[in-house]
Amino acid sequence: MVQKILEVQQSGTVETLYYKISEIGIPIILIKGQYPGRTLLITAGIHGSEYPGIEAAKRIKNKILPEELSGNIIILPCVNQKAFFERSTFINPADGKNLNRCFPGKREGTESEQIAYMLEKDFFSIADFYLDFHSGDLPEKLAKFVFIPSFGEKEIVQAAHAAADYLDLPFGVLSQSRSGAYNHACLKGLPSLLIERGCFGERTEEAINGFVEDTYQILRYLKMLSDKKIFPKDLRLLEKVHYMTSSFSGLWTPLHSVGDTVKKGETLGVIEDFFGNIIKEYKAEQDGEILYQITGLPISQGEHLIAYGY
């Protein structure tokens, strides 16, 4: 459907529509350039309470001049509508699932599974590059960085790595996961990056403008814009990252800040009960820099706590 809409859309124009999935309508922005070229796909709001990327996606529509663009930009500014309007962190309340863990999805599955299926079949299949905007969720603090896939055809992974060098970010993290929208897209032959900026649901101009500039940089890398020359840098890469999840429910207190360097064996945080008794003390299993962590007080069994590495 989206491919057919783009084919008949007039060059140098912007169109908006709602794409019906299950019982919801997902907003879609189609920017068709004046000249032929590649197609860039952008998603935001896969986690509904990660607001900076949603705001940035909306602004991109009004900043990009289609008459100066080669190719197409497809933007889904808020993928997870139910989670967005119910201010749900990480989970889609329609089915209790983390949408980013539902790929490749199911045509007749739950709402999250149907959305994942739709993204692969109708959007990944027509794109040449994919950017997925994320932020620290409502109880989550994180550093700004880019996740870079490690799995997929060699040339596809190399294209993602090459693009990441054009972003104005302090470091990248080599993902060792095969799940998630961008990892799955790369496995399906679509070069992809997941960019993290902002946290706590705060719509800071720094985070929003960062996402907008990321988009411009990737457009230049793809030769979809030629407004100025760009030069890559050697992005610092973190390859050995440890992701710690909670084995208990209780009251979580982290003992360090995002960006701190910790040593193996150092205490990262504790979970207590409501009487102040320590249920579990979490220690670093390796050296590393703290990338993100939950800072909110409540924590449930199975939720992620912290990521750190080098």
pLDDT value at residue 196: 98
pLDDT at 276: 97
- Using alpha carbons only, give the angle 226, 229, 232 rounded to the nearest 5 degrees: 120
Residue 51 sits at φ, ψ, to 5 deg, of -80, -35
Tokens, residue 304 = 């992620």
What three-state secondary structure class fits 210?
helix
* Token duo for residue 192: 């992809």
Whether the Cβ atoms of residue 189 and residue 156 lie closer than 8 Å to each other:
yes
108: helix, coil or strand?
Answer: coil
Lowest mean pLDDT among 15-24, 73-82, 88-97, 245-254: 15-24
Confirm if 307 and 248 have CB atoms less than 8 A apart. Answer: no
* Sign of CA pseudo-dihedral 261, 167, 164, 62: positive
d(CA 163, CA 155): 12
Segment 77-91 mean pLDDT: 96
Signed CA dihedral, 250, 251, 257, 258: sign only? positive
pLDDT by residue (tens digit) across 114-155? 999 999 999 999 999 999 999 999 999 999 999 999 999 999
Tell me the pLDDT tens digit for each residue of 15-43. Answer: 999 998 878 899 999 999 999 999 999 99
pLDDT of residue 22: 74
Which domains, ranges and CATH numbers included, belong to the chain? 2-221 (3.40.630.10), 240-309 (2.40.50.100)
Q: How far is CA 30 from each of CA 75, 266, 286, rounded to the nearest angstrom?
A: 7, 49, 45
CA angle 105, 107, 111 (to 5 degrees): 70
Would you state the pLDDT for residue 230?
86
**Which residues contact residue 45 at a Cβ distance below 8 angstroms, ignoring those fewer than 6 apart?**
53, 54, 57, 76, 77, 78, 79, 80, 81, 83, 84
Closest CA to 142 of 58, 257, 288: 257
Look over the chain and give the mean of its residue pLDDT values, rounded to a whole number.
97
Compute the 3-state secondary structure of the chain and give helix, strand, coil in percent, each to the nearest 5. 25, 30, 40
Count other C-beta atoms under 10 Å from residue 162's C-beta: 12
Residue 241 above 80 pLDDT? yes
- Joined together, the tokens standing for residue 50 give 């990660």
Report the Cα 32 to chain-centroid distance in Å. Answer: 23
